[in-house]
Chain A
């Protein structure tokens, strides 16, 4: 109420350029960063070495000279096109495409269904909506392993077991509880009056979702896409169980490359295959880092 302004010290707070506490913080951060970056460094330089250089044993030093007729990218080429598991020597590329075929539809369908369900739950309450929501919350905490056998039976009865469709189906279903939760909470955090205003303006269920809410949902959509793409891409369990041998996703193939003991162990090819497999989620994290943090702060924590 009063207009009395309080006298406060003005100007920047005097500060030493390098205080002892600050040196400590930086030292800790640098050491931690090195601790995590060092293995990555080893993986990267090893993937560019030939086997002779690896056998030399100097794992910290990159190979600078390549013998006549060989290239620095040879292990990567082998990993992508030639590496064998069992009798199959097509490299990891077919499985990359398997992973793409699995990820894209599962992400799109699960998010599309979840955004509609979450919106309905938060804005169009129906008779058992609260109970339904409770079931969803419980559902998002059920360990996948519990549902594994029933899902195998289900997909078998649907006639899609051991196909890519089975993996897509399972990923979509298992993604729904947590995504619905995410979207419901986000929509619940939007001002209720906005929804009312749209209804007074005559907009119906779909129009409010598509024209009013969806354009406001970019942060949470980003979170959902990141969660789903990385989660599905990194998945191993469902790939092994539901895909069937020719349809293995990249992660399963990578594991098989590592475990197949056929001839010499090609560390360089294995490292290249590892980086190739991890490249997609890594790229997503790097490209969307800011939005990811923002989205987590905006939607997932609130409500």
Chain B
């Protein structure tokens, strides 16, 4: 399954985009609304004809094929069930269109409804189903057609938080069971991180980074990806790199951070830079540990208890940052504290280009 160089429309929603997806892979297209991720999915589905470029599925050029001939099934955010048909007829619609024999249709509908546990609902109309049930039926509609590729267009966005978590697990289980290629569009980073084999973070019609979830999380390629992934989001501290190579330091206000524990992608040299540290990689009032920086003086601004841990907002060298601390650590606003950054887990970006250094 290969997607190649697709740009579309006068607006250029997608810019010369290349994407190779392996057979059986679960790919998540992640990005804010308007980044072109749904457009890309529609191009793959054949609902939009790309202005340039081509789409290959199973090595076959399907750029000008009808959606039904591409071996794809699609699940939509609004479920898009046919309201006047029963669940059973919804599931079998595609098969009936294809002119399949009645027994074969029945067999497939039965199998799909078993997998999705919607057998008791077969005689109902979509309006008599809950959101989660509707989405199951919508998944079933792709399932009965025995497709190579499943396309999900924000399938869980219309569900409440609890159902979303439930169905997320179910989609993952479905993928493990079927082993189909799945392409999943979402703006929810939790869905992306939990489901994907690889995540494609998109912005402005381009893929910013395509990697497995942990790499995306730990080694973001640029400031955009770093800021988009993670909740609460990564802290960005502006400063300067002084020195070069392993002896380089990051100058933050009056203090300095040694970068000898940082795995740089390019040799470091003096320039304006941004230090990105996730809240859980900041230590407050603790002893020095391996890979951590020297202590900085900070002032506690606000404390947000989150149950399992707390988020502490701090002021360091005139810049704001948040740190995740154990909930048994107690802080008061205005309190003076020491903070250390775990540099081995941090990211350093070039300030001008936003690229990871």
**Chain A positions near chain B (C-beta within 8 angstroms):** 191, 193-194, 196-203, 207, 211-212, 215-216
Most buried by B among A191, A197, A212: A197
Q: How far is the CB of A283 from chain B (nearest CB, A)?
A: 28
Q: What A residues does B77 contact at CB under 8 A?
A: 193
> Is there a chain A Cβ closer than 8 Å to B11's Cβ?
no
Shortest Cβ-Cβ A-B pairs, 8 listed: A202-B68, A201-B94, A193-B80, A197-B80, A215-B84, A193-B76, A202-B97, A200-B74
**Residue interface bits B76-87, CB-to-A below 8 A is 1, else 0:** 111111111000
- 9 A-B pairs within 8 Å (CB atoms) are namely A194-B78, A197-B138, A199-B66, A200-B73, A201-B93, A201-B141, A202-B98, A215-B84, A216-B83
Chain A CB within 10 Å, residue with most, of B42, B77, B84: B84
Question: In the complex, A212 Cα to B93 Cα: how many Å?
Answer: 10
Enumerate B56-81 residues with CB–CB distance to A below 8 Å: 66-68, 72-74, 76-81
Contacts of B83 in A (CB 8 A): 216
Residues in A neighbouring B78, C-beta threshold 8 A: 191, 193-194
B80 touching A199 by the CB < 8 A rule? no
Tell me whether B115 is interfacial, beta carbon within 8 Å: no
Q: Is the CB of A203 within 8 A of B45?
A: no
Decide: B84 and A196 in contact? CB cutoff 8 A. no
Residues of chain A within 8 A of B82, CB atoms compared: 194, 197-198, 212
**Cβ-closest chain A residue relative to B99:** A202
Known A201-B145, A211-B93; 10 more pairs at CB < 8 Å: A193-B80, A194-B78, A194-B82, A196-B45, A197-B76, A197-B138, A202-B94, A203-B93, A203-B94, A207-B97
B residues at A contact (CB < 8 Å): 42, 45-47, 66-68, 72-74, 76-84, 93-94, 97-98, 138, 141, 145, 153
A199, B145: Cα distance in complex, Å: 13
Cα–Cα distance between A198 and B76 once the two chains are bound (Å): 12
Q: Are B76 and A201 in contact (CB under 8 A)?
A: no
Expressed in whole angstroms, the Cα–Cα distance for A202 and B147 within the complex equals 13
Is A196 within 8 A of B47, CB to CB?
Answer: yes
Residues of chain A contacted by B98 (CB below 8 angstroms): 202
Q: A191-B80, A212-B82, A216-B84 are in contact. Are A200 and B47 (CB under 8 A)?
A: yes
Contact residue among A193, A202, A207, A216 (Cβ-Cβ distance under 8 Å from B67):
A202
Beta-carbon nearest neighbor of A215 in chain B: B84
B55 to chain A, nearest CB (A): 15
- Compute how far the CA of A191 lies from the CA of B47 in the bound complex, rounded to whole angstroms: 15
Give the nearest-CB partner of B144 in chain A.
A201
Decide yes or no: A200 and B68 within 8 Å by CB, A191-B78, A193-B76, A207-B97 being known contacts: yes
- Residues of B contacting A202 in the complex (Cβ-Cβ under 8 angstroms): 66-68, 94, 97-98
Residues of B within 8 A of A197 (CB): 74, 76, 80-82, 138, 141
Expressed in whole angstroms, the Cα–Cα distance for A197 and B45 within the complex equals 10
Assembled-state Cα–Cα distance A42/B82 (Å): 52
A interface secondary structure, majority: helix
Q: Which residues of B contact A211 (CB under 8 A)?
A: 93
Alpha-carbon gap, A194 to B81, bound state (A): 7
Known contacts A201-B93, A201-B94, A202-B97; A196 and B80 CB within 8 A of each other: yes
Instruction: State the Cβ distance, B294 to closest chain A Cβ, in Å.
Output: 39
Shortest CB-to-CB span from A194 to chain B, Å, is 5
**In the bound complex, how far is the Cα of B98 from the Cα of A200, in angstroms?**
11
B80 touches A194 (CB 8 A): yes
Among A202, A207, A212, the one with the most B-chain Cβ atoms within 10 Å of its Cβ is A202
B72's contact among A191, A200, A207, A212, by CB below 8 Å, is which? A200
Nearest to B47 among chain A residues (CB) is A196
> Who on chain A is nearest to B73 by CB?
A200
Query: Chain A's nearest CB lies how many Å from the CB of B20?
Result: 23
Residues of B within 8 A of A194 (CB): 78, 80, 82
Question: Separation in Å of the A197 CB from the closest CB of chain B?
Answer: 4
Give Cα A194 to B84, complex, Å: 12
Contacts of A212 in B (CB 8 A): 82
User: Which single residue of chain B is at the shortest CB-CB distance from A207?
Assistant: B97
Assembled-state Cα–Cα distance A70/B110 (Å): 73
Cα of A257 to Cα of B73 in the assembled complex, Å: 66
Q: Could you tell me the distance in whole angstroms from the C-beta of A61 to the nearest C-beta in chain B?
A: 54
Closest A residue to B77 by CB, please name it: A193
Q: Enumerate chain B residues within 8 angstroms of A201, measured Cβ to Cβ.
A: 68, 93-94, 97, 141, 145
Q: What separation, in Å, do the CA atoms of A286 and B117 have in the docked complex? A: 47
- Asked if A196 meets B97 with Cβ closer than 8 Å, knowing A191-B80, A215-B84, A216-B84, the reply is no
Cα-based distance from A257 to B94 in the complex (angstroms): 60
The closest CB in chain A to the CB of B147 belongs to A200
Would A199 and B97 be within 8 Å (CB), given that A193-B80, A194-B80, A194-B82 are in contact? Answer: no
Complex Cα distance, B250 from A33, in Å, reads 85
Q: Which residue of A lies closest to B142 (CB)?
A: A200
Distance in angstroms between the alpha carbons of A231 and B61 in the assembled complex: 53
Separation of A194 and B97 alpha carbons in the complex (Å): 16
- A200 near B84 (CB under 8 angstroms)? no
Instruction: State A201–B76 Cα separation when bound (angstroms).
Output: 13
A-side contacts of B72, CB under 8 Å: 200
Contact residues in A for B141 (Cβ distance below 8 Å): 197, 201
A212 CA to B80 CA, complexed, in Å: 11
* Residues in A neighbouring B68, C-beta threshold 8 A: 199-202
Question: Which residues of B sit under 8 angstroms from A207, Cβ to Cβ?
Answer: 97
> Is A196's CB under 8 angstroms from B76's CB?
yes
A211 to B80, CA, bound (A): 14
Minimum distance in angstroms from B105 CB to a CB of chain A: 13
Q: Which residue on chain B has the smallest CB distance to residue A212?
A: B82
